[in-house]
Amino acid sequence: MNWDADRIPDQSGRTVLVTGANSGLGFETSRALAAANAHVVLACRSLDRGRDALDRIRDETPDASLELLDLDLADLASVRSFAERFGRRHDDLDVLVNNAGIMAIPRRETADGFEMQFGVNHLGHFALTGLLLDPLLAAEDARVVTVSSTAHTGGKMRFGDLHGETDYGPWSAYSQSKLANLLFAYELQRRFEATDADASSVAAHPGYSATELQARGPEMRGSRLRKLAMGLLNRIVAQDAEQGALPQLYAATAPDVVGGAYYGPDGFMEMRGGPTRVESTDRSHDRDAARRLWEYSENATDVSFELVPTEQD
């Protein structure tokens, strides 16, 4: 689809929160939404990197309405503190973009003992969304956009070993976390519908976009060769982050977005191109797995959503 950031409807009066706003797709998303007059809350785990991002946006859009808050999705205490601080400053949240992520890193654990990729990419965002439900439901026609990946296609929910304690693979853990993002996004939409909430949940993916994401795993493994190879691929194959952010920007703002839909690039193998509606695997639509993941996530994070469960099929 021929759609770019210039077609974002005016966002005056709307509050948007982007996780991982200092880098890559989160930065581009924040930049574009600020230029469209949204009040953008940059949620970053490093205030220094966040400040730098805020300055870069302000250089380009001097009257941008921006706010920086620290959020570490690898620590539930930080997620709770973030939600409390957000709640003290804002009654409404119009758009939540669950964007932050890490990919294919060696096995690490969050402050709460979760495997890092599952913990940051899924559980941290699950908790954040649940803790921000009041401001989301207070807004008119709120949207939750959760960023997944084509990597979800290889993902399997290993409910017996979600944290890779018995068997860990950096890529299988990433794929599982990205499948969890979709199961969550679709289940949240069903729960919004079941409660007649004035809100929708959608998912997006950026294809293959050159960001910092690809370097993290090789860096943590100390593999200079892999880092070089990833850098080369980023330069030759990937699209730039500005283009990669379009599906999530479309999902966050386009008037014709459908709750429960998934948006990604329309080009070769969904790796690049303009935003369009895309399909995800049968596994991502497995309602039993979604309910199981939801219950597991509520227990693991101790965050409950005040939305009634969907009825059994």
Cα end-to-end span (Å), the chain: 35
User: Interface with ligand NAP includes 24 (CB under 6 A)?
Assistant: yes
Q: Does 104 bind ligand NAP (CB under 6 A)?
A: no
**Among the listed residues 18, 36, 73, 203, the single contact to ligand NAP using CB under 6 A:** 73
Task: Looking at residues 109 to 138 of the shown chain, list those that interact with ligand NAP (rule: CB under 6 A).
Answer: 120-121
Q: Is 71 in the site for ligand NAP (CB under 6 A)?
A: yes
The DSSP annotation for 150-167 comes to: GGGGG----TTSTT-SSS
| 174 has catalytic annotation | yes
Catalytic hit among 174, 186, 262, 263: 174
Q: Which is nearer to ligand NAP, 108 or 287 (CB)?
A: 108
Task: Examine residue 208 and tell whether it contacts ligand NAP (CB under 6 A).
Answer: yes
Should residue 149 be labelled a site residue for ligand NAP when binding is judged by CB under 6 A?
Answer: yes
Tell me the C-alpha distance between 242 and 59, whole Å.
17
Comparing CB distances to ligand NAP, the nearer of 82 and 294 is 82
Select from 126, 231, 223, 254 the least CA-distant residue to 183.
Answer: 126
The DSSP output letter for 111 is T
Q: Is 46 in the site for ligand NAP (CB under 6 A)?
A: yes
Contact 257/202 with Cβ under 8 angstroms? yes
Residues in the chain: 313
Helix axes 47-60, 24-35, angle to 10 degrees: 40
- What are phi and psi for residue 277, nearest 5 degrees? -75, 130
CA dist., res. 295 & res. 304, Å (int): 9
Name the 3-class secondary structure at 239: strand
Least separation in angstroms between residue 12's CB and ligand NAP is: 26
Among 17, 57, 74, 133, binds ligand NAP (CB under 6 A): 74
Q: Which stretch binds ligand NAP (CB under 6 A): 6-14, 136-144, 205-213, 261-269?
A: 205-213
Pattern 278-297, ligand NAP, x by CB under 6 A: --------------------
Identity at 151, one-letter amino acid code: A
Residue 273 binds ligand NAP (CB under 6 A): no
Q: DSSP label at 121?
A: I
- Residues assigned a catalytic role: 174
Q: Using CB under 6 A, list all residues that contact ligand NAP.
A: 19-20, 22-26, 45-46, 49, 71-74, 99-103, 120-121, 147, 149, 205-206, 208-209, 211-213
